[in-house]
């Protein structure tokens, strides 16, 4: 038996999608919607770029976790993994 794993990719992905939509949309964007600069960079631009980079890192972690899970448990439903 595969070890019980509490990691549920679908739920995690669903949550991440919702958060993504919240963070990059009205009204939360309004918080950063100003002409101020941080370290000489426009605030909104810096916010969007920073959030984006964080997203990429999170996807990387998510994928790594999924790959680990798939390696631990041979993909039962995978059509291309047949010998």
Partner 1 sequence: MMSPSMLFLMVLLYGFVLFGVASYAVSGARTGRSRISHPAIYVLSLGIWHTSWTFYGNVGRMSTVGMDFMAIYLGVTLVVGSWWFVLRKMIRICRKQQIVSIADLISSRYGHSLPLGMLVAVFSLVVTLPYIALQLKAISDTFALLSTPLAPGADFSFAGFSDMALPAALILGGFAVLFGARHLDPLSRHEGLVAAVALGSLVKLIAMVAVGLFFVFGMFDGPADLFGRFLTELPRHRHLLLLGTEQIPFSSWFSMGLVSMLAFMCLPHMFHLQVVENTDPRHVTDAMWMFPLYMFAIQLFIVPIALGGLVLAGGQTPMAEYFALFIPLAAGKDFLALLVFIGGISGAAAMVMVSAVALANLMANHLAVPVLLKYGLEQEGFSRKLLVLKQMLILAVVLMGYAYYRLMGDKGSLVDTGLIAFVGAAQLAPALLGGLFWRRANRNGALTGLCLGVLVWFVTLMLPALVRAGWLEPGILEQGLFGCSMLKPAALLGLDNLQVLPHALFWSLGLNLCGYVVLSLFTQQQARELEQSEKFVDAADGVVTTGAQRRLTKAPTVVEFVELMAKFVGETKAYAAIADYLGDKEIDTRGSLGEREIADLKRFSELTLAGSVGAVPARIIIENYLSSRGSEMEDVFDIFGSVTISRKAGREQLGVLHEAARLVSGGLELNTILDNLLDLLQEQFRLDLCVVRVLDESSGLLQVISRRGVVLEHFGEAERTVDQETYVGEVFLNNSAMAVNDTDFLEKPLPAILIRREKILSFAHAPIDIEGQAVGVLSAFSRSAKGIFTNEFMELFENLAGQMGVALRNARQTAQLISAREREMELQLARSVQQSLLPEKTPDVSGISLAGACIPAREVGGDYFDYFPSGEAGMDLLIADVSGHDFGAALLMAEVRTFIRAKAEEDLPPARMLEVLNAFFYEDLSRSELFITLMYLRYAPEDRRLTFSGAGHNPPLLRRAADATCVPLASEGLILGVLEQVSFTEKHLQLEPGDLLLLYTDGIIEGQSPDGELFGEERLAALLHDLHDLEPEEIIQRILEQLRLFIGEASFKDDVSMVAMKLARS
CA distance 72 to 83: 17
By the rule CB under 8 A, 65 interacts with partner 1:
no
Query: Considering beta carbons, is residue 6 or 35 the nearer one to partner 1?
Result: 35
CA distance 5 to 65: 11
The CA-CA-CA angle for residues 53, 56, 62, to 5°, reads: 145
Q: Which residues bind partner 1 (CB under 8 A)?
A: 1, 9-10, 13, 16-17, 20-21, 24-26, 29-30, 33-35, 37, 39-42, 44-45, 48-49, 52-53, 55-57, 59-60, 62-63, 66-67, 69-70, 73, 75-80, 82-83
């Amino acid at each position: 038996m595969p070890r019980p794993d509490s990691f549920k990719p679908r739920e995690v992905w669903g949550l991440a999608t919702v958060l993504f939509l919240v963070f990059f949309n009205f009204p939360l964007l309004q918080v950063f919607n100003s002409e101020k600069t941080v370290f000489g960079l426009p605030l909104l631009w810096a916010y969007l770029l920073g959030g984006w980079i964080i997203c990429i890192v999170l996807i990387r972690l998510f994928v790594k976790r999924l790959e680990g899970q798939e390696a631990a448990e041979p993909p039962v439903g995978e059509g291309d993994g047949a010998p």
